[in-house]
A = this chain, B = another copy of it.
Amino acid sequence: EIFNQAQAVFKQADLANKHIVITAGPTQEAIDPVRYLSNHSSGKMGFSLAAAAAERGAQVTLIAGPVNLPTPAGVQRLDIRSAEQLLKTSLDCISSCDIFIATAAVADYRPAEAAEQKIKKDGSGSELSLTLIENPDILATVAKHSDRPKTVIGFAAETQQAEQYAQQKLKRKNLDAVVANDVSRQDIGFGADNNEIIWVTQSGSEPFGPATKHDVSHFILDHINTLIH
Contact = CB atoms under 8 A, between A and B. Distances in A.
A31 B26 CA distance: 15
Interface in A100-127: 105, 107-109, 112, 117-119, 121, 123, 125-127
Contact of A36 (B39, B108, B112, B132): B39
A47 interface: no
Contact of A128 (B34, B40, B132): B132
Nearest to A107: B35
A105 B34 contact: yes
A134 interface: yes
A50 to B, nearest CB: 20
Contact of A127 (B31, B34, B128, B131): B131
Interface in A8-57: 31, 33-41
7 interchain residue pairs of minimum CB distance: A108-B121, A128-B132, A130-B130, A118-B159, A68-B68, A34-B39, A35-B39
B133 A33 contact: no
Interface residues of A, number: 38
A130 B132 contact: yes
Given A127-B133, A130-B129, A35 B34 contact: no
A225 interface: no
A121 B134 contact: yes
16 contacts: A34-B39, A34-B40, A34-B157, A34-B159, A35-B107, A36-B37, A36-B39, A109-B128, A118-B158, A125-B134, A126-B134, A127-B131, A128-B131, A129-B129, A130-B130, A130-B132
Contacts of A183: 33-34, 118
A184 interface: yes
Contact of A109 (B68, B105, B121): B121
A132 B132 CA distance: 12
A31 B36 CA distance: 12
